[in-house]
Structure 1
Amino acid sequence: MQEILQHTTLPEWFGVFFSVFQVLLARKNNSNNYLFGIAGVSLTLYVMITSKLYAEFTLNLYYLVMSIYGWLYWKFGKRKTETVISETTNHEKLITAGIVIGAFSLFWFFLTQFTDSDVPIWDSLVSAFAWAGMWLMARRKIENWILLNVSNIIAIPLLIHKDLYLYAGLTAFLFIVAISGYFEWRKIIKKRADAYA
């Protein structure tokens, strides 16, 4: 335990702290989750670049942009009213698959050709599924929780390998919250459907 504390920097502590609040607010369908996300992501950017997790760093830049986009989309949507939770359409599923395949290919190529990454496949997989999941979350699609959990399950051993124990713990926590979030959002969808039945 003392070794974990010695390896944990202040940016990592605060990045995790803000990220915990972000995911708990997202689970509760609170659009202010993105404000905590922006703070957590900003700190995480520093941690990932110093750990040579370049795809994770790029992923967090994407999180920053998507957090701003997501907050605006959740608040105002296309009609200047708050967007409701919904299921992914077939068209959106194709876009999601394209994001996963495209992001993985780009990250893997970049990491193997231009960096000193020792984990290019795993880093690329984590980021590819997270990119797609975050896109779905920003659009308030329930399937975001599934893709984010695929990313989480791959990320936990990767973060441990990099001695980022606090982020590994956070990711395990995120995995549990994502399961809970999926069922919470499913209840919201059912309640809305029952109200219109």
Structure 2
Amino acid sequence: MLEFLFSQYENYPNYEIVLELGAIFFGLLSVWFAKKDNIWVFPTGIINTAIYVYLLWKWSLLGDMMINFYYVVMSIYGWYHWTRKKDNVIEFPISRMNTAEKKWSLIIFVLTIAFVVIVYTFFDKFTHWTSYVDTFVTGIFFVGMWLMAKRKIENWILWIIGDIISIPMYFAKGYSFTSMQYLLFTIIAIYGYLEWKSILQEKKV
């Protein structure tokens, strides 16, 4: 069983394995802090995504690499957005998407996929089924990160969908540790959605 899961790492440089494990550690911390609606979701997420930008470039998963670069930028925006207060009250608490945000989500999704297709085509990277899956997942995660930065509960639904799809994709590419990370991400995201939903329901009481 262990050989089946980790034999692909035999020819990997040790530093890449260490970087992958380090990124996973900070990634799990980030998702846990997001679940708790804690501002530390952003600094831990920046470390995680900065490492993955490098690793994904090495692994030729350009769509996911761009996701992580985008995460770094959106984490900085989200960090600022979450700290904004008015009269000592959080200006942008957890909420649901409005009609305009739903339209923008669709626009971001379509434009992201179009951009990734152009990049993959330019670099001739549509050589494996994972490239097509990566393109679709990139669109999902771009919208999910935007919604998280805006503290919208629907971000969790997109994370759950994207995480589930990413599990077999990374396993097929030979990155078992990252595949297992997305399995844990899925579990935490489900609890995150339920926790944020509970917070919203308490506000209505």
TM score, norm. by length of structure 1: 0.92
Contact (CA 8 Å) 1:11, 1:46: kept in 2 or not?
A: no
User: Aligned pair 1:156/2:167, yes or no?
Assistant: yes
Structure 1 equivalent of residue 73 of structure 2: 65
Alpha-carbon deviation of 1:114?
2.5
Cα pair distance change 1:80/1:61, threshold 3 Å: farther
Letter in 1 for 2:175: L
Runs of 4+ in 1 over 3 A off after TM superposition: 5-8, 77-81
Alpha-carbon deviation of 1:120?
2.9
The equivalent position to 2:30 in structure 1, one of 22, 26, 33, is 22
Q: Distance in 2 between matches of 1:150 and 1:183?
A: 15
Structure 1 equivalent of residue 43 of structure 2: 35
Q: Distance in 2 between matches of 1:79 and 1:68?
A: 23
Query: Which moves more between the two structures, 70-79 or 9-18?
Result: 70-79
Alpha-carbon deviation of 1:78?
8.1
Aligned residues: percent identity?
30
The equivalent position to 1:110 in structure 2, one of 106, 119, 124, is 119
Contact (CA 8 Å) 2:126, 2:132: kept in 1 or not?
A: no
User: Aligned pair 1:129/2:140, yes or no?
Assistant: yes
Alpha-carbon deviation of 1:124?
0.7
Contact (CA 8 Å) 2:26, 2:48: kept in 1 or not?
A: yes
SS in 1 for 2:97: coil
Name stretches of at least 5 consecutive residues in structure 2 with no aligned partner: none
Alpha-carbon deviation of 1:145?
0.5
Contact (CA 8 Å) 1:66, 1:135: kept in 2 or not?
A: yes
Alpha-carbon deviation of 1:117?
4.2
